[in-house]
Amino acid sequence: MTQRPEQLALAPVTRAQGTMTLPGSKSISNRALLLAALAQGRTVLRGLLDSDDTRVMLDALGKLGIQLEQTAAGLVVHGAPRFPVEKAELFMGNAGTAIRPLTAALAVQGGDYRLSGVPRMHERPIGDLVNALRMLGADISYLGNEGYPPLHIGRGQPDPTQPARVKGNVSSQFLTALLMAAPLLANTAASPVVIEVEGELISQPYILITLNLMARFGVQVERDGWQRFTIPAGAQYRSPGEYTIEGDASSASYFMALGAIGGGPLRILGAGADSIQGDMAFAEVVQAMGAKIEMAKDSIEVSGVEVAAGERLRAFDRDFNLIPDAAMTAAAMALYADGPCTLRNIASWRVKETDRIDAMHAELAKLGAQVESGPDWLTVHPIKPGGWRSANIETYDDHRMAMCFSLAAFGGVPVTILDPACVGKTFPEYFSVYQQLVQP
């Protein structure tokens, strides 16, 4: 086993320009893997992300008896509407996009399964999903703290006649998990399966990704606003034959930011105007801050200011509820704004890979920024020339912390990223791509 590097020193940079190609979307990759596994037929997945999170899903599917075959055309998934292996212990790392939908799919099937993860995963809530699955007759028990993994899934008594209700204000992944599992119940049911959302649904664009992919695999979900979702009786996943996974829009945010603060032009290939990912809306944030955006079908080009020459981005006060992952990039860009920047409605940050509000507050302050934060908001005051401090940035085993703080290298002082290999969760090659685009 190779040892993870303890730190990466980033020298000050003044410009960013060039062309890069995005890795496959994590959100789409793990959804597509599970749907292909549950679909009738054989699916070839092209452009699948190779990262810690997708390896977790692939490992779990293999242990559940799904036949996976890597070919020159892509990953071939031989679907099985019911998992062949009915007893397994599954280690899910810290992959929320893997443990939540797999929990739901296994729970409605029933069996003898244990799901666990890294210590941080055992601090990430799953109780709202478990409660909703129990309404559908699932047998799930907690092996540690109530409301959190690890979990045991037994053989329940499926009852799709009653609506499953789930809270919408903690994580959209709970609703995604229920939606993706529901056709397994609806397939043999005489009536539709209904899922109701209690309260505000956060991160709605991620639900649109789920619905889009379910439709590609043959299941059309009827949506009544964001409060009620109906899966028709007899629904069944069917392979589309081939599916190409687009580039990761959350990862695109770092390169949009590089173009905006490093002058550009910086061209990003793999996702653009035709993207099904909500995080492409981050282009609007970058544009509002003063960058020039040119978007094509599957690419985007960004040109911006040169902060190293004293130019500033425009400050913002925005609601980031719909794009919480990309919002972290905006918090780092705030260091170069012409006034205080406030990110609102980001309570979901607190239940991610780390408590991202506290983590961003602490690490931005290390660089010399004045920062304030609350339960669901963060305000960052830009650092004035001469006010930057060199710092060792803690990443909290959170890939987005490491990638965000690479943007601090435009401050004119060295920045050291601790545990840079944590980017392996979604973008193992991030720092090598970054180094190819920036200039000292």
Domain locations along the chain: 7-24+246-439, 26-221
Report the range of poorest mean pLDDT among 16-20, 311-315, 342-346, 424-428: 424-428
Q: What is the largest CA-CA distance in the chain?
A: 69
Element at 12 (helix H, strand E): none
Phi, psi of 319 (to 5 degrees): -90, 120
Q: Which of 38-42, 47-51, 159-163 has the lowest mean pLDDT?
A: 159-163
CA-based R_g, the chain, Å: 22
pLDDT digits (tens, 9 = 90+) for 336-380: 999 999 999 999 999 888 999 999 999 999 999 999 999 999 999
User: Are 7-24+246-439 and 26-221 equal in CATH topology?
Assistant: yes
Q: What is the CATH number of domain 26-221?
A: 3.65.10.10
SS3 letters across 63-105? HCCCEEEEECCEEEEECCCCCCCCEEEEECCCCHHHHHHHHHH
Mean pLDDT along residues 417-425: 96
The pLDDT value recorded for residue 318 is 98
Question: 183, 219 in Cβ contact below 8 A?
Answer: yes
Q: How far apart are CA 283 and CA 250, in angstroms?
A: 11
Q: Residue 1 — very low, low, confident or very high, per pLDDT cuts 50/70/90?
A: very low
CATH architecture of 7-24+246-439: Alpha-beta prism (3.65)
pLDDT of residue 130: 97
Supply the pLDDT for residue 162: 86
Residue 57 has pLDDT above 90, yes or no: yes
What does each C-alpha distance from 336 to 78, 89, 155, 165, 415 come to in angstroms? 49, 47, 55, 43, 16
What DSSP element (H or E) covers 21? strand 15-21
Q: pLDDT-based confidence at 2, cuts 50/70/90?
A: low
Length of the chain: 440
Kindly report the pTM of this predicted structure: 0.91
Can you tell me which residue has the tokens 């994580």?
A: 171
pLDDT in tens, 173-225: 999 999 999 999 999 899 999 999 999 999 999 999 999 999 999 999 999 99
Active-site annotation holder among 53, 248, 279, 325: 325
Active-site annotation holds for 419: no
The pLDDT value recorded for residue 4 is 76
**pLDDT band at residue 308 using 50, 70 and 90 as cut-offs:** confident
